[in-house]
Structure 1
Amino acid sequence: MRIENSIKNISIGILSQIIIVILGFVSRKVFLDSLGVEYLGINGLLINVLSIMALVEAGIGISITYNLYKPLAENDQKKVIALVQLYRKMYRILAAITIVVSLGLYPFLEHLMKESESISNIALIYSLFVAKNVFSYLNAHKWSLINADQKGYVLVRMDLLFQVSTTVAKICILITTQNYILYLLIELLLYVIQNITNGVIVNKRYSYIKTKEKHSLDQDTKDNLVKNVKAMFLQNIGGFLVFGTDNILISSFIGIATVGLYSNYTMITQQVSSLVKPMLGGVGASVGNLIATEGSDKNYSIFKITYFVNFWLYSLCVIFLYNLLEPFINWWLGAGYLLDKISFILLLMNVYLLGMRTAIATFKNKAGLFVQDKYVPIFEGLINLIISLLLVKYFGLAGIFMGTIISTLSTVFWTQPVIVYKHVFKQSVWPYFKTYGMYAILTVLICFITTICNTLVVGENFISLVLKGFVCIIVPNSIYVILFFKTKEFQYIFNTLKSNLLKVGKNKQITRGA
């Protein structure tokens, strides 16, 4: 059942992301043609500024979701109701706090926007961003419940419908009116309708949570929640300083237009990662269930498989992006939208470092290990901010990316594996770093080989992009199959896929026979 739920989450997630990715590129092209790169920069800046709201959230959601795994597995409805009621209450309070904090941030906006004189109605634009942020809290308890129960795929179908509808509606608004305010209004309206619809679906599936009877949590669970929320609050501060400040620094020291250029790169890297995440994220809820019900040896064997898949996917991502991202931007948007080469390479290094944390971070979070490294994200964030501020004066955009790389390598790169190996796997962490080094070297070497192969493809038109894409798929995958075919990890994945494909084939035959 655990594997079947993972496969459902993965397959539906990948299909929906492919559709969203295609529409996303069309939408971005129309956005730039209709409004220009400055408005794109404002979009990215406000998203970063309002990500400070993650500090307000303080990890409540992750902590409560972690506590939902066991009662859901044991069908302890009273405890599930108590957790959901607490979650709902806390997030309503957070929605009110978000409004107050957002009002306090507004006066500082003008100091963060260099070369942005052409942007009008900033107050209204900011208000619409805040409204969407606030509304996201009102049904958050329901999303955590269905995800913790490994049934996230139920909502993915509805989310796909709304994301497609929203993107098409926004494209139509831009083509017909070139009005950014109307663009944001239609996005907010459809987001509200989507949240209400999803809420109704969750209520039908878990009708018992609608009870008006109040349920309280036992003291041990309360103490665990308070401890984890305190730890997650510190982690969120560090996370904001690392991932929430890039656009703010770029806008303040370089210019709002550069934020727009950078956002094209991040859009593509995020879209590529979004195709990968369902494959790893689809097993996320299953890991929580696994840790709650299995021993350390079983957990470690599954981690090695997840780690292997993590490397394979993100290695392909980086190879794909290095060879195709810039030619694609030239084909997609035209000349004049590229960053310098050093910044591009450093950006890809950050994509790899962040992506390769997925497997270890999944096991850490699903095991509820929030307290053990509660101060590390603060150090990571401060190192990132200080080094970025120092290096941006000498290296510009590249200096900001250097700050992120240095802060990652000096903190979470080694602290997360140490904690997980000690508390979950109960063994030495050195095999993790040896494997990581081998994976990194392989990624660089295979990228070099793939790039040489792609020099045989001439031109930067659509056909040449497709041909280069085939090279980026065939060359690395062929080499990795040859290198890893006899390993336990590869054989496990191969046999699992084969058995599930055979099962699907048998089910189809039974259906036809009936």
Structure 2
Amino acid sequence: MRTKHSLNNIFIGIISQLVIVILGFISRKIFLDSLGIDYLGINGLLTNVLSMLALVEGGIGLSIVYNLYKPLAEKDQKKVIALVQLYKKVYGYLAVIILIISICLYPFLGGLIKDDSSISNLTMIYFLFIAKNLLSYLNAHKWSLIYADQRGYVLDRMNLLFQVITTIAKIIILIVTKDFILYLIIEFLLYGVQVIVNGKIVDRRYPYIRTKVKYSLDEETKTNIKTNVKALFLHNIGGFLVFGTDNLLISSFIGLATVGIYSNYTMIITQLNAFVKPILGGVGASIGNLIATEGSEKNYFIFQITYLVNFWIYSTCVIFLFNLLDPFISWWFGSEYVFTDLILVFILINFYLTGMRTSIATFKNKAGLFKQDKYAPLIEGGINLISSLILVKYYGLVGIFIGTTLSTLLTVFWTQPIIVYKHVFKKSFVFYYQKYFLYLLIGGVAFTITTAACQAIVFEQELLTLVVKGIISLLIPAIIYGVVFFKTEELKYMIQFLKRQPFFSKVVLVLKKSNLKVEKS
């Protein structure tokens, strides 16, 4: 059952993201042509402001979700209800607090923009962003319940439908009116409908949570939540200082237009990341269930598989992006929106370092190991902010990204594996780094060969060049990794796992029928 839910999560996630990626590229092009680069910049800047406001949440949701895994697995409805009721109550208070903080922050918004931009109605834009953010707090307790129960794919289907409708509606608004305020209003209204519909879906699946009877939690669970929230609050601050300050620094020291250019890169990387992340993220809830019900050896075996998949996915993504990102942006948006090669290199280094943490971070979070390294993200964030502030003065934009690289390598790159290997797998963390650097070496070989092949590809039509380079960037790493890992237990397990799936059997059957028809003809 755990495998079935994981596959559903993965399949729906990939299909959803494929549709969203296509619409996202079209929408971004129309947005840029209709409103200009400054509006892309303000969009990225306010997104970072919202991530700063999210610090107020302090990891409460993640801590409660962690505590939901066991009672859901044991069908302990009373405890599930108690946790959901707590979640709803806390998030109601948080919505009010965030609104108050948002109002207090508004006077300082202008100080985050270095240059004189052509943005009008900044006040209305800001509060429309805030209003949409607050909507997400209304049903957060219900969403967390269904995702913890490994049924997230049910909401993902509806989210896909709403994202398609919303994106198409926004495209029409941009083409017809070129009005950013109306664009945001339509987005806000449709998101409000989405929140209500998703809430009703969860109510139908878990009718018992609608009870008016109040349930209380045992003291052990309350203590666990409080301990984890304190640790996660520090994690969130550190996470914001690492991942949420780039646009703020770029806007303050370089300019809003550069934030807009950078947002093209982050949009493409984020879309690609979101497209492949369901493969690992789809098993996230299952890992929570696995840790709650299985021993360390089984956990370690599953981790080894996810670790290989993690490397395969993110190393291929880096190779793909290095060879296609700049040419694609130049072809789709224009050559004036392309950064230098050095900037691209550090953007991709940070993407790889963060991506390669996915499997180990998933096991850490699902095991509820928050307090063991509660200060590490804070130190990481401090290093990132201080080094970025210093380096941006000497090296400009690339200095900000170098700061992020340094902060990661000096902190969480080491702390997360040490904690998980000690508390979950009961093994030496040395094994983690042995494979990490082995994977890095193999990935470096694949990168070198693929890049050399791509550089030899030049056609008169840019689109044809992009397509061929894209195929090469996916095919060569797959061949190299297939040859290198063919005899490993991890790849053998994945192949056998795929063979057992109905979808794979149907594909094989179709191929066999096709071959028979060819032979008869």
Q: TM-score range by the shorter chain?
A: over 0.9
Secondary structure, aligned partner of 2:216: coil
1:229 aligns with 2:229: yes
Residues 41, 311 of structure 1: CA spacing in aligned structure 2 closer, same or farther, 3 A cutoff?
A: same
Is the Cα contact below 8 Å between 1:39 and 1:119 reproduced in 2? Answer: yes
In structure 2, the CA distance between the partners of 1:502 and 1:40, relative to structure 1 (3 Å rule), is closer
Deviation at 1:501, TM superposition (A): 3.6
Tell me how far 1:505 sits from its aligned partner. Answer: 3.6
Give the corresponding residue for 1:388: 388
**Secondary structure at 1:476 match in 2:** helix
**Match of 1:474?**
475
Structure 1 counterpart of 2:76, one-letter code? D
Distance 1:82 1:475, change over 3 A: same
5 Å-filtered alignment, 1:25-424, equals: 25-424=25-424
Partner amino acid, structure 2, of 1:343: I
In the other structure, the counterpart of 1:512 is none
Tell me how far apart the structure 2 counterparts of residues 79 and 258 of structure 1 sit (CA, whole Å): 49
Provide the rounded CA distance (Å) in 2 between the counterparts of 1:75 and 1:247: 44
Q: Is the 8 A contact 1:237 1:381 kept in 2?
A: yes
Is the partner of 2:138 in helix, strand or coil? coil
1:41·1:256 contact (CA, 8 Å) conserved in 2? yes
Deviation at 1:442, TM superposition (A): 1.9
Write out per-residue CA displacement over residues 396-429 of structure 1, whole angstroms, 9 at most, x where no aligned residue: 1100000000000000000000000000001100
Contact 1:162 1:190 in 2 (8 A): yes
How many angstroms apart in 1 are the aligned matches of 2:504 and 2:294? 26
**2:238, 2:323 → 1: CA distance?**
32
**May I ask how many residue pairs the two structures share in their alignment?**
509
Instruction: Judge conservation of contact 2:117–2:256 (CA < 8 Å) in 1.
Output: no
Question: Which amino acid in structure 2 is aligned with residue 429 of structure 1?
Answer: F
What TM-score, normalized by structure 2, do the two folds share? Answer: 0.96
1 CA distance for matches of 2:399 and 2:438?
27
Q: Could you tell me how far 1:462 is from its partner in structure 2? A: 1.0
Residue type of the partner of 2:207?
A: S
What is the aligned partner in structure 1 of residue 517 from structure 2?
Answer: none
Q: For 2:12 and 2:237, how far apart are their aligned partners in 1?
A: 33
Structure 1 spans left out of the alignment, 5+ residues: 510-514
Q: State the distance in 2 between where 1:231 and 1:168 align.
A: 41
Structure 2 residue aligned with 1:488: 489
What secondary structure sits across from 1:51 in the alignment?
A: helix
**CA distance, structure 2, for counterparts of residue 183 and residue 39 of structure 1:** 12
Instruction: Give the partner amino acid of 2:301.
Output: S
Q: How far apart, in 2, do the equivalents of 1:503 and 1:250 lie?
A: 47
Does structure 2 retain, via aligned residues, the 8 Å contact 1:82–1:217?
yes
What's the CA shift for 1:455? 2.2
User: Are the equivalent residues in 2 in contact too, given 1:242–1:384 (CA < 8 A)?
Assistant: yes
| 1:434-467 deviation line (CA, Å, top 9, x unaligned) | 1111111222221111011112321461111111
Contact 2:458 2:465 in 1 (8 A): yes
1:127-176 CA-to-partner distances (Å, cap 9, x unmatched) read 00000111111100011100000000111110000000000000000000
Aligned equivalents of 1:428 and 1:117: distance in 2? 54
1:218-265 deviation per Cα after TM superposition (whole angstroms, max 9, x unaligned) = 000000000000000011111111111000000000000000000000
Q: Cα offset for 1:50?
A: 1.6
Deviation per CA, 1:484-514, whole angstroms, max 9, x where unpaired?
00000000001000111478649x99xxxxx
Residue number in structure 1 paired with 2:465: 464
Contact 2:38 2:117 in 1 (8 A): no
Q: Secondary structure at the match of 1:215?
A: coil
- Could you tell me whether the CA contact under 8 Å between 1:38 and 1:116 is conserved in 2? no
Query: Runs of at least 4 residues of structure 1 off by over 6 A?
Result: none
Provide the C-alpha distance between the structure 2 equivalents of 1:327 and 1:338, rounded to a whole number of angstroms.
8
Partner of 2:519: none
Instruction: Provide, for residues 277-328 of structure 1, a one-character-per-residue CA deviation record: whole Å limited to 9, x for no partner.
Output: 1000000000000000000011000000000100000011000000000111
Secondary structure at the aligned position of 2:336 is classed as: coil
Residue deviations 1:82-130, cap 9 Å, x none? Answer: 0000000000000000101111111111111111331111110000000
SS of equivalent to 2:373: coil
The answer on whether the counterparts of 2:17 and 2:274 sit within 8 Å (CA) in structure 1 is yes
Task: Look up the equivalent residue of 1:244 and give its one-letter code.
Answer: G
CA contact (8 A) 1:54 1:240 kept: no
Shift of 1:474: 1.0
CA offset digits 1:172-206 (Å, max 9, x no partner): 00000000000000000010000100000000000
Q: In structure 1, what is the Cα distance between the partners aligned to 2:499 and 2:462?
A: 38
8 Å CA contact 2:9–2:153 kept in 1: the answer is yes
Distance 1:497 1:332 in 2: 36
Report the Cα distance in structure 2 between the residues aligned to 1:17 and 1:284, rounded to whole angstroms.
Answer: 17
- Name the CA distance, whole Å, in 1 between partners of 2:140 and 2:414: 32
- Residue 501 of structure 2 aligns to a residue whose secondary structure is helix
| Alpha-carbon RMSD | 1.4
Aligned partner of 2:46: which letter?
A: L
Give distance in 2, aligned partners of 1:381 and 1:404: 9
SS in 2 for 1:359: helix
Runs (5+) with no aligned partner, structure 2: 511-521
Give me the whole-angstrom Cα distance separating, in 1, the residues matched to 2:116 and 2:151: 44
For 2:480 and 2:444, locate their aligned partners in 1 and report how far apart those are by CA, in whole Å: 13
Amino acid corresponding to residue 469 of structure 1 in structure 2: G
Preserved CA contact (<8 Å) 1:291 1:366: yes
User: 1: distance between equivalents of 2:133 and 2:482?
Assistant: 44
**Aligned residue identity for 2:501:** N
**Matched-pair contact (CA < 8 Å) for 1:20–1:164:** yes
